[in-house]
């Protein structure tokens, strides 16, 4: 892997954004059903951050490396993925003992950097790694003490025009987005979604949005024809589509990785999964036993408005401890619903249980953006958009055979 220049000015604390992007081709039928194709095998990553040169030396460093190498290939640290040496890394050896490589962008065939400052660093290609050890392809040329920072590097390109906002003759800032230059020699991380519950062969996206930042959208295209007289309207859609958009606060490096893995597993807009609406679509009004299949509910005129529709065909029962149980509604009256099988759990406090419609859906976006304070990498912020589907669930394993 060849990199021409390294950009090692650390970003400002609250400016860091890590993105992954897929490309999906979607053919939509007149009735809203879809045929989707993923156009790439692995996502393209990018890093967006603001950098501030606080001294003359840093500003001069910023200008000279951009002047010389703006058009070349860059190595940019994944600043959110810091680990440190837990034992000295000696010159002439190729073993790095580190705190942890888990949930970080370390990959066999890619680069990592031992970093102390913009003038004191060493870059090596990763030959193999475990949770606490990285083995390089070649031996180190310098000795690095315990506590030295170790980052994976993104091989990338930047835009051909960059602007430095000068605060005074010795200080200035810049915002840069670095786009991954794809390298097929890297052994890519395979997304793992084993921690997500599965229903009818498809995973359930269980992350909860901030409720004051959740949008429920309704979309039903139709044509209305009128010409100097009687009008005529028609639609090819059997029901209204229910897009959702929400802001998610994800706590912990492991959970951030789970969210990114879920997005990668479904290749952005390509794959389908179950999505709770996270609303009280149905309110159970009386206690129930573990073997009950019929529940008394607050009247919502289910038989008139919701019965037989794909958006309301399935429901998920969500307990305060985040237990999820999914069921199909097979019957309803004015104030009852009947599900296909018992929950196996009784409740004397049904008001504590949220019963939401369970949508068959997909991401309505091919790029996910995780905003992070890279010095507080245990938290990520992202906005996600989803689209409900007007078709029956088809597990990925069946679709790909």
- pLDDT tens-digit profile of 33-82? 889 999 999 999 999 999 999 999 999 999 999 999 999 999 999 999 99
> For 283-301, what is each residue's pLDDT tens digit?
999 999 999 999 999 999 9
Rounded to 5°, angle at Cα 351 from 345 and 355:
70
Share of the chain above pLDDT 70, in %: 96
- What's the whole-number mean pLDDT along residues 337-349? 94
Q: What sign for the dihedral angle of Cα 164, 170, 171, 176?
A: positive
CB-based contact 280:216 (threshold 8 Å): no
8 A C-beta contact, residue 49 and residue 79: yes
Rg of the Cα atoms in the chain: 26
| Rounded Cα distance, 225 and 243, in Å | 26
Tokens of 370: 């995780």
Contacts of 75 (CB under 8 A, 6+ apart): 3, 5, 6, 7, 111, 113, 123, 153, 154, 155, 156
Asked if residues 116 and 77 have their Cβ atoms less than 8 Å apart, the reply is no
Give the 3-state secondary structure of residue 58.
helix
Summarize the confidence of residues 276-282 as an average pLDDT.
94
Query: What is the rounded distance in angstroms from the CA atom of residue 362 to the CA atom of residue 275?
Result: 8
Banded model confidence at residue 398, pLDDT cuts 50, 70, 90 = very low
- From residue 109, give the alpha-carbon distance in Å to each of 18, 112, 114, 295: 21, 10, 16, 57
- By the 8 A CB rule, do 297 and 267 touch? no
Q: What is the pLDDT of residue 228?
A: 67
Write down the pLDDT at residue 345.
93
pLDDT at 50: 94
Q: Decide the pairing of beta strands 5-6 and 74-77.
A: parallel
Q: How far is CA 93 from CA 40, 112, 131, 253, in A?
A: 38, 15, 19, 30
Cα 205 to Cα 394: distance, rounded to the nearest angstrom: 16
Residues 325, 248 contacting (CB under 8 angstroms): no
Confidence at residue 377, expressed as pLDDT on a 0 to 100 scale:
58
Least confident of 125-129, 228-232, 316-320: 228-232
Q: How confident is the model at residue 32 (pLDDT cuts 50, 70, 90)?
A: confident
> How high is the pLDDT of residue 184?
79
CA distance 320 to 327: 18
Torsion region of 322: left, alpha or beta (phi above 0 gives left; psi -120 to 50 gives alpha): left
DSSP string computed for 257-321: HHHHHHHHHTTTTT--EEEE--S-SB-B-S-B-TT--EEEB----HHHHTTT-GGGSEEEEE-TT
At 400 the pLDDT is 39
The predicted model scores a pTM of 0.91
Cα-based angle 337, 342, 348 (whole degrees, multiple of 5): 80
211 torsion bin: left (phi>0), alpha (psi -120 to 50), beta (else): alpha
User: Cα–Cα distance between 361 and 370 in angstroms, integer?
Assistant: 21
What is the average pLDDT value for the chain, to the nearest integer?
92
At residue 63, the pLDDT reads 96
pLDDT for residue 212: 83
Structure tokens given for 199: 């229903």
| Bridge pairing between strands 367-372 and 324-332 | unpaired
pLDDT at 401 (0 to 100): 32
Q: What is the mean pLDDT of residues 336-347?
A: 95
3-state secondary structure of 399: helix
The conformation of residue 211, written as its DSSP 8-state character, comes to G
CB neighbours of residue 109 within 10 Å = 15
- pLDDT tens digit sequence for 236-261: 899 999 999 999 998 888 999 999 99
* SS3 at position 195: coil
> Distance between CA 143 and CA 90 in Å, rounded?
4
Residue 184 gets which letter from DSSP?
A: T
Helix (H, G, I), strand (E, B) or coil at 145: coil
Tell me the per-residue pLDDT of 350-381, one tens digit each, with 9 for 90 and over. 999 999 999 999 999 999 999 986 565 578 89
More confidently predicted of 228 and 276: 276
Q: Residue 141: its pLDDT value, please?
A: 97
Q: Residue 397: pLDDT above 60? A: no
Q: Is the pLDDT of residue 399 over 50?
A: no
Mean pLDDT of all residues in 172-185: 91
Q: Which two tokens stand for residue 67?
A: 């002047």
Contact 124, 7 (CB under 8 A): no
């Amino acid at each position: 892997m060849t990199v021409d220049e390294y950009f090692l000015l650390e970003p400002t604390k609250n400016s860091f954004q890590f993105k992954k992007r897929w490309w999906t081709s979607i053919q939509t039928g007149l009735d809203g059903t879809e045929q989707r194709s993923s156009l790439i095998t692995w996502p393209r990553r990018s890093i967006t951050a603001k950098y501030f040169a606080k001294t003359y030396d840093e500003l001069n460093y910023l200008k000279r490396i951009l002047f010389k190498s703006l058009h070349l290939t860059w190595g940019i640290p994944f600043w959110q993925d810091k680990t440190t040496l837990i034992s000295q890394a000696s010159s002439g050896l190729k073993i790095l003992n580190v705190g942890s490589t888990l949930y970080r962008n370390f990959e066999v065939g890619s680069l990592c950097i031992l970093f102390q400052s913009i003038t004191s660093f060493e870059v090596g290609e990763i030959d193999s790694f475990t949770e606490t050890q990285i083995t390089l392809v070649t031996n180190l040329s310098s000795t690095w003490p315990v506590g030295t920072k170790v980052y994976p590097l993104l091989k990338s390109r930047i835009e051909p025009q960059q602007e430095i906002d000068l605060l005074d003759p010795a200080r200035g800032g810049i915002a840069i987005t670095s786009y991954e230059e794809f390298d097929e020699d890297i052994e890519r991380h395979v997304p793992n979604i084993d921690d997500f519950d599965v229903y009818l062969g498809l995973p359930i996206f269980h992350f909860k949005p901030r409720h004051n930042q959740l949008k429920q959208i309704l979309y039903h295209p139709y044509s209305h024809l009128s010409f100097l007289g009687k009008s005529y309207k028609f639609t090819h859609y059997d029901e209204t589509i229910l897009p959702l958009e929400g802001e998610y606060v994800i706590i912990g490096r492991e959970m951030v990785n789970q969210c990114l893995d879920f997005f990668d597993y479904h290749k952005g807009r390509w794959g389908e999964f179950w999505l709770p609406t996270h609303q009280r679509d149905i309110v159970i009004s009386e206690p129930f036993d573990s073997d009950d299949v019929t529940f008394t509910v607050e009247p919502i005129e289910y038989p008139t408005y919701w019965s037989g529709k794909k958006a309301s065909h399935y429901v998920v029962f969500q307990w305060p401890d985040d237990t999820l149980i999914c069921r199909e509604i097979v019957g309803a009256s004015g104030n009852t619903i009947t599900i296909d099988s018992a929950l196996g759990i009784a409740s004397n406090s049904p008001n504590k249980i949220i019963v939401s419609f369970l949508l068959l859906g997909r991401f309505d976006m091919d790029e996910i953006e995780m905003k992070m304070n890279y010095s507080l990498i245990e938290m990520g912020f992202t906005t996600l958009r989803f689209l409900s589907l007007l078709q029956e669930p088809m597990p990925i394993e069946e679709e790909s055979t």
